[in-house]
Amino acid sequence: MLQYLPMPLTTNNKPVKKSIWKWLTLLGPGLTTGAADDDPSGIATYSQTGAQFGYGQLWTALYMLPFMTAVQEACARIGLVTGKGIAAVVKEHYSRKVLYSVVSLVVVANTINIGADIGAMAAAANLLIPVPFVVLTLLFTASILVLEIFTSYKVYSRILKWLALALLAYPITVFIIHQDWPVVLKATIVPHIEFSFAFLFIITGVFGTTITPYMFFWEASQEVEEIKEKGHADGNKTGVCWADIHNMRKDNTAGMIISEFTTWCILLVGAAVLHQSGVKDLKTAADAAKALEPLVHSFPNSGFLAKLIFSVGIIGLGLLAVPVLSGSAAYAVAEAFDWNASLNLKLKKAHGFYGVITIATIIGLIINFVGIDPVKALIYTAVLNGVAAVPLLFLIIKISTDDKIMGEYKSGWLSKTLLWFTFVVMGAAAVALFFTI
């Protein structure tokens, strides 16, 4: 007689746990890049959009997702296949005029963005502690530089992943406040367009803070860092196969979905809380913090708690985004001049690379002392990125579809279609913006 012995309870769970853990370990540059996309500039722009137009631009989060994913996938694939950052690839295959134009565009746009993000972090901290704005900007600048220069890539990448959790405040708020869900669903699916300067200005900012130049360079360079981290010390393309491409796509897709879902939540919270309560123009960090009051409305002193959650989110995401901004600028410059460029290298072995990080961050800090309002600076920075992204997108398309550069890993028809459509739409938004001026 056969006797059937019961299986241990843990056996059935092991494959599930193993598959979940395996999936989580794939998350890297895509997740970090997606989280950095919802930086203080992104939060301010999306909040202003929701406050100003209500549900009118809610659809942008849904329709930007495939295009944002395609752009970042192409950038990541360039880094993974060539073993080089975008600036290094441009240097190898294009003229110096193109190279210097690309690098200058990225450095200028990133430096301005750094300044806006540092100012926003200080303004957010000011909601909680009565410390002079100047002192706070200096404190955040010093902290970011120490974090980026004196920690290894392995430790630093872990820190960036944890900072991404600061994005959770907005999704939680969405499901706490009362929503007219049929109206929300319609606004998410059916595009609404107005041909006015105000509408085109802010939608260019939404495009620019979502599909933004620094993300192109950062994700490509981080794929190179991942190659080095896994043992390909020279960072070349030996060993890269379709399995690596598929893993990269999973990481990238997950990061972009998380990013765009958060974008949708910020837009929705801005519309449901700020717009409906009559706040249509964000003038201070306190205005933006009001969007999170429903999250803590049942607690005593809910106004302070909302400011606390908002400030922690802005500061956490600023600590995530500013190193990404300065790092992507440093990768671009270092690659253009053949300097050592890696967050794994010590300061003494990569003076130029860390020098660019330091200079870009300090110049960004100085921008805060010329009298620009921190919240408005974030929105104007997003619009600038929306314009700057257009020529860079053209270059990404040319590289990712080039047989000589990408070989069998060049963009297929779907990637090319999405990339060209992104270029046309963002170009048209920028041109329309200038015409309405």
| Residue 219: exposure state from Cβ atoms within 10 A (0-12, 13-18, ≥19) | buried
Q: How far apart are CA 169 and CA 253, in angstroms?
A: 22
pLDDT, tens digit, 9 for 90 and up, residues 319-331: 878 888 888 899 9
Q: How far apart are CA 306 and CA 130, in angstroms?
A: 17
Under 8 Å CB-to-CB from 364, ≥6 apart: which residues?
A: 111, 112, 113, 114, 115, 116, 117, 118, 141, 322, 325, 326
DSSP class of residue 411 equals: -
Domains in the chain with CATH codes: 47-436 (1.20.1740.10)
pLDDT, tens digit, 9 for 90 and up, residues 181-231: 999 999 999 999 888 888 989 999 999 888 988 889 888 888 888 777 766
- Please spell the DSSP secondary structure of 261-304, one letter per residue: HHHHHHHHHIIIIIGGGT--S--SHHHHHGGGGGGGTTSTTHHH
Write down the pTM of the prediction.
0.83
Per-residue pLDDT tens, the chain, 437 aa: give them.
Answer: 333 334 344 445 555 444 443 444 445 665 666 555 667 888 888 999 999 999 999 999 999 999 999 999 999 999 999 989 999 999 999 999 999 999 999 999 999 989 988 998 898 899 888 899 999 999 999 988 988 888 765 676 667 667 667 667 788 888 888 888 999 999 999 999 888 888 989 999 999 888 988 889 888 888 888 777 766 544 444 467 888 888 889 888 888 898 899 899 999 999 988 888 888 888 777 788 888 778 777 667 777 888 888 888 888 878 878 888 888 899 999 999 999 887 777 888 889 999 999 999 999 999 888 877 777 888 888 899 999 999 999 999 999 999 999 999 999 999 999 999 999 999 999 898 888 76
Q: How far apart are CA 432 and CA 419, in angstroms?
A: 20
